Amino acid sequence: MATLEYWTVENTGWSGGISWFKTGGSDSHPLRFETASDAHAYALIRQQEFDDPSTLWRVVHTTVDRFENKEVTTKEWTLV
């Protein structure tokens, strides 16, 4: 088994809190952080730059467990 673990930052943009979008990087190559604290610090900076109180922000912890013939991805998030 191999495990991949990383954190990303997402926000709701102008979706009214309905949809979440990756912040930083691109959809296929999102900006990834090695620690939750690095991701949280980045989220706070981007939140201040965006300056829209209706936009929600979160830090997403992703764990990918790869086995011989399957892959399990788990995502847990914390609102900023």
Which tens digit of pLDDT belongs to each residue from 11-70? 998 787 789 999 998 878 889 999 999 999 999 999 999 999 889 999 999 999 999 999
Q: What is the pLDDT of residue 30?
A: 87
Instruction: Categorize the per-residue pLDDT at 74 as very low, low, confident or very high, splitting at 50, 70 and 90.
Output: very high
Q: Which domain holds residue 45?
A: 2-79
Number of domains in the chain: 1
Buried-state track 20-52, b at ≥16 Cβ within 10 A, e below 16: bebbbeeeeebebbeeeeebbebbeebbeeeee
Q: What is the pLDDT of residue 35?
A: 98
Separation CA 74–CA 30 (nearest Å): 16
Q: What is the pLDDT of residue 38?
A: 98
Separation CA 61–CA 49 (nearest Å): 23
Instruction: Show the tokens assigned to 38.
Output: 């690095």
Q: What is the pLDDT of residue 8?
A: 97
